[in-house]
Amino acid sequence: MNEFPWILMAIVIGLIVALLVAIFYKKTKKEGHEPDYRTFFNMGIIWIAIGIPLYLSSDSIALLALGFIFLIAGWANKDKWKEPHKPSPQTKKVLGILVALTVLLVMATAFLVFKQ
């Protein structure tokens, strides 16, 4: 019973912070920003790939449905796709390091799982 005022105050403070962030974002937002429909298409493919096993294992259709929505939205606006930008050498280096770390993590996980 003693914790209720603290929880209520935390919720109120969180809502006030969210309101201030929303107001600040609205004032600094550029007008006329067009979405990148190629990214919508790519997100749709990824979410469908994740949604299929999720649907088969737990009958959760949310990611699969959202994936199809993003895929259709990106494909319907294919004429508005922006040209992909070339990554800088520094970005390529960081991406290579992340891929290497991911491969090591998968290998270590496989080793621990199959060791038993």
Q: How far apart are CA 73 and CA 69, in angstroms?
A: 6
pLDDT at residue 45, as a whole number: 94
What's the pLDDT at 100? 95
Q: What is the pLDDT of residues 52-104, one digit of tens each?
A: 888 888 878 888 899 999 999 999 998 888 887 788 889 899 999 999 999 99
Q: How many residues does the chain have?
A: 116
pTM above 0.85, yes or no: no
64: Cβ–Cβ under 8 A, 6 or more apart, which residues? 47, 48, 51, 52, 54, 55
Please, what's the b/e burial string for 38-47 (b: 16 or more CB within 10 A of its CB; e: otherwise)? bebbebbeeb
User: Strand, coil or helix: what is 11?
Assistant: helix
pLDDT digit string (tens) for 16-57?
888 888 888 776 766 667 788 898 999 999 999 988 888 888
Q: Please name the residue that has the structure tokens 């609205």.
A: 26
